[in-house]
Structure 1
Amino acid sequence: MAVLGLGFLKASLRRYTWSSVAFNLFTLALGVQWAIILDGFLFSFSSGKIIISIRRIILGTMSVMSVLISSGATLGKVNLIQLIVMTLLEVTVFQGTKKLTLTFLDGNEHQSMMQIHVFGAYFGVAMAWYFSGQRLNEAKEKEQRTTTSSLFTALGTLFLWIFWPTFNAALLDYPSEKETAVYNTYYALAVSSVVAMSFSAAAHSDGKISMNHVHRATLAGGVSVGVATNLIHSPWIAMVLGLLAGMISIAGAKCLPGCFNRVIRLHDTCEVHSTFGLPGLLGGLTYILLMVEQASWTNLSMVGFQILGSAGCLSLFLAMGLAGGALTGLILSFNLWKAPPAAKYFDDQAFWEFPHLAVGF
């Protein structure tokens, strides 16, 4: 999922495909090592040693997926050195936020890790604000999609679609919970896939389908059920979530870019806000509602504590994502990183050697 799925999902720009896939792998390889070290010191440090296991490697990989998500918002606008700094800072902030939720908000590991969608999306959105503005007009032509690059993105979407049920069930402890999570994720993904095409056609004046909408909304169902997938015990709830997530994702893809660009001059290259952020918020709110519905009302103080804890977990990851992204964007905006000029945005030639193109590009 992390290497192929998110790598090809971001390979949509016609002149930035090599960097999308290769930098995604580089970020993952670097981030997992750093995440395992941080996870060891924060959660499994014993007798002066860090305990490493398969589960710790899985947790490290899932932590770095927040970076892979947020990097889509700044795709094509940062260089490799900036990606290194971004990876180290974001993984640190995410691990610290997870430690806070487990220690003070009585959260569980599955709930905390499934907040990577909200955290990663809003971290990327906040960071992307520093790389937006009028100077993007110099590279606007390079941001166009082509049939080939859209096919690469479709490959990443399909790969993520296939493995998303396993991803949502990976950290659950009991086989019955894992089975429930797989079923619910599949129900939600199936509905959001239907909505992706039908709602995209309905939203077009000529009834045509946007492949960009299909790339984004197809995955929205899997994102929306991630946190609450083991609490959903009726298929219709998962299917309604997939329906709402698909519609919200397409509506966001149509409306938010124009609003952001005009009002706050924010440029989100891969639209991670509508792909991961909005469906992730929907999933977080659903988790709170399900906690209320399944709570035992004989102990009102415990119910109130559980509701506040769930709301606090979602709010903390959202707030830390925005604050961490804004701080990281400020740091990366300094000139010492030798960032590519705006004219070289969305261009592989700024980073890669092209022997077959001796003159021009």
Structure 2
Amino acid sequence: MSSNYRNFRNSVPWLILFLEAVFIVPFYFLHSDDLAFISDFNPAFQDVSHMVVFGFGFFLTFLRRYGFSSTGFNLLIVVLGVQCSVLIEDLLILLLQKEDEGVPERITRAAVSVTAVVISTGAVLGKANPVQLILMTVVEIIVFHVSKWINNTFLQVSDSISMMHVHLFGAYFGLAVSSRFSEPSPRSEKNASTPKSDLLSVLGTLFLWVFWPSFNSILAMNKNKAIYNTYFALAVSAVTAFMLSVLTTKDGRFRMTHIRSAVLAAGVTVGSAAHCIEYPWIAMILGLLASVTTILGSYCLQRCFNPVLKIHDTSGVHFTFGLPAVLGALAQVVLLVIRNWTDLPRVDYLVLLHVGAYCQTISVALVTGFITGLILNFRLFKTTPVSKYFDDQFYWEAPRLAVGF
């Protein structure tokens, strides 16, 4: 490898070794005799694992020369994030004297929690180096659990619902971190896709689409209702995505970026309310609105919002996950009012709590993400130069990468 490429031998291995030591020692004392897994639990956990590893791993491979990093670094942050999340859950059980739900439940919740980090990674994709990604993973997992604890303890939001704030938290944390990174040159050819990289990204989208009902239902009380509501919402979202893609392009052709983002929007939107939506047609309306929000939002954000705030959102997490999550928050509040409209004092109280929980989640994500972005850009963490953004060869030993993906 050329001397122009920075060597991470003195930082990445030792940082990973340190973190693994931090994880292994507490695990020795906290999990020495409780690793008896429930056989019926494995399929649901496998679905979520396929989603975060295969789904998001391939979903982020749309950059022409960043395929190795997209899939490789995604796996790295997932496995580190799950360990970190389980350890934090253990510490909360000890400190707050909470009821121990068992190892399978904690691992599943950890896999759901790490989704927030994977989403955030999409905003800084191609710009953050491995050291920065690892540190961002640890910080975000900790802060997400703190935010969830505030929602559970002070705002009395059920744990299963607050866990589904991962999309909201991950999107806005990632955007805040991204705002502290230098913007790439608009003339850079590496910040683009190829037919092959788009195809791999769509493969990841299909994985996510198939497993999203399991993701939304795995922590829900009424799993069956969550599954079919999520499926119907996703189906309408996909159909609407194809319709709007043709209507909004100048030449009347389908645009892959629209399909890749909008077909998943419904899964995000109904995440918090899928278990309590009474009729499928409500979920279908939310799916339609989610797809419209994503496609129209992509135009507004990319042309107006992001340039003004100087935010470069590499994979469009704001309109793929952020805006649909906000729509889902509004939908949940409306459904809450409809279900309890005969008891106005209770409605006011519940609406205040849920709106407060969403505002708290976004606020904590933005503030801590901004601070994290500032810290990650210290010279100590070897910030990637703008000229080396979106380039696998900066990190991977693969001579063929020099001529493109």
Q: TM-score range by the shorter chain?
A: over 0.9
Whether 2:191 is the aligned partner of 1:146: answer: no
The amino acid that maps onto 1:186 is Y
Task: Give SS of 2:52's match.
Answer: coil
Trace 1:1-361 onto structure 2 (pairs within 5 A): 1-43=51-93, 52-133=102-183, 136-137=184-185, 140-173=188-221, 177-295=222-340, 297-298=342-343, 300-355=344-399
Alpha carbons 2:123, 2:317 under 8 Å: kept: yes
Deviation at 1:41, TM superposition (A): 1.3
- Separation in structure 1 between the aligned mates of residue 305 and residue 377 of structure 2, nearest angstrom: 20
Q: TM-score, normalised by structure 1?
A: 0.94
Give the gaps of 5 or more residues in structure 2. 1-50
- The count of residues paired between Structure 1 and Structure 2 equals 354
Deviation at 1:253, TM superposition (A): 1.7
Deviation at 1:260, TM superposition (A): 3.4
Shift >6 Å, 4+ stretches: 46-51
- Identify if the C-alpha distance between structure 1 residues 296 and 195 changes in structure 2 by more than 3 Å, giving closer, same or farther: closer
The amino acid that maps onto 2:365 is G
List per-residue Cα deviations over 1:172-203 (Å, max 9, x = no partner): 23xxx111111110111000101111101100
- Separation in structure 1 between the aligned mates of residue 157 and residue 123 of structure 2, nearest angstrom: 28
List per-residue Cα deviations over 1:249-282 (Å, max 9, x = no partner): 0112222112234312110000000000000000
Deviation at 1:48, TM superposition (A): 12
Give the gaps of 5 or more residues in structure 1. none
The amino acid that maps onto 1:271 is G
Alpha carbons 2:55, 2:204 under 8 Å: kept: yes
Task: Give SS of 2:139's match.
Answer: helix
Alpha carbons 1:37, 1:50 under 8 Å: kept: no
Alpha carbons 2:182, 2:386 under 8 Å: kept: no
Deviation at 1:284, TM superposition (A): 0.6
- Identify if the C-alpha distance between structure 1 residues 163 and 51 changes in structure 2 by more than 3 Å, giving closer, same or farther: closer
Deviation at 1:42, TM superposition (A): 1.4
Alpha carbons 1:102, 1:108 under 8 Å: kept: yes
Deviation at 1:45, TM superposition (A): 5.6
Alpha carbons 1:40, 1:51 under 8 Å: kept: no
- 2:15 — aligned with what? none
- Separation in structure 1 between the aligned mates of residue 276 and residue 403 of structure 2, nearest angstrom: 56
RMSD between superposed Cα atoms in Å: 1.9
Task: Give SS of 2:314's match.
Answer: coil
Moved more, 14-23 or 322-331: 322-331
Alpha carbons 2:93, 2:100 under 8 Å: kept: no
- Separation in structure 2 between the aligned mates of residue 139 and residue 64 of structure 1, nearest angstrom: 34
The amino acid that maps onto 1:156 is G
- Identify if the C-alpha distance between structure 1 residues 93 and 260 changes in structure 2 by more than 3 Å, giving closer, same or farther: same
Alpha carbons 1:40, 1:52 under 8 Å: kept: no
The amino acid that maps onto 1:303 is V
- Separation in structure 2 between the aligned mates of residue 43 and residue 99 of structure 1, nearest angstrom: 11
- Separation in structure 1 between the aligned mates of residue 212 and residue 150 of structure 2, nearest angstrom: 27
Task: Give SS of 1:209's match.
Answer: coil
Alpha carbons 1:139, 1:342 under 8 Å: kept: no
- Separation in structure 2 between the aligned mates of residue 296 and residue 44 of structure 1, nearest angstrom: 40
- Separation in structure 2 between the aligned mates of residue 158 and residue 268 of structure 1, nearest angstrom: 22
- Separation in structure 2 between the aligned mates of residue 47 and residue 8 of structure 1, nearest angstrom: 40
- Identify if the C-alpha distance between structure 1 residues 331 and 90 changes in structure 2 by more than 3 Å, giving closer, same or farther: same
- Identify if the C-alpha distance between structure 1 residues 187 and 48 changes in structure 2 by more than 3 Å, giving closer, same or farther: closer
Q: TM-score, normalised by structure 2?
A: 0.84
Alpha carbons 1:169, 1:181 under 8 Å: kept: yes
Alpha carbons 1:12, 1:152 under 8 Å: kept: yes
Deviation at 1:302, TM superposition (A): 2.5
List per-residue Cα deviations over 1:334-357 (Å, max 9, x = no partner): 111012111000000000001457
- Separation in structure 2 between the aligned mates of residue 146 and residue 109 of structure 1, nearest angstrom: 41
Task: Give SS of 1:140's match.
Answer: coil
Deviation at 1:39, TM superposition (A): 1.1
List per-residue Cα deviations over 1:40-96 (Å, max 9, x = no partner): 111466889987510100111111110000110000001110011100110011000
Deviation at 1:132, TM superposition (A): 3.5
Alpha carbons 1:13, 1:149 under 8 Å: kept: yes
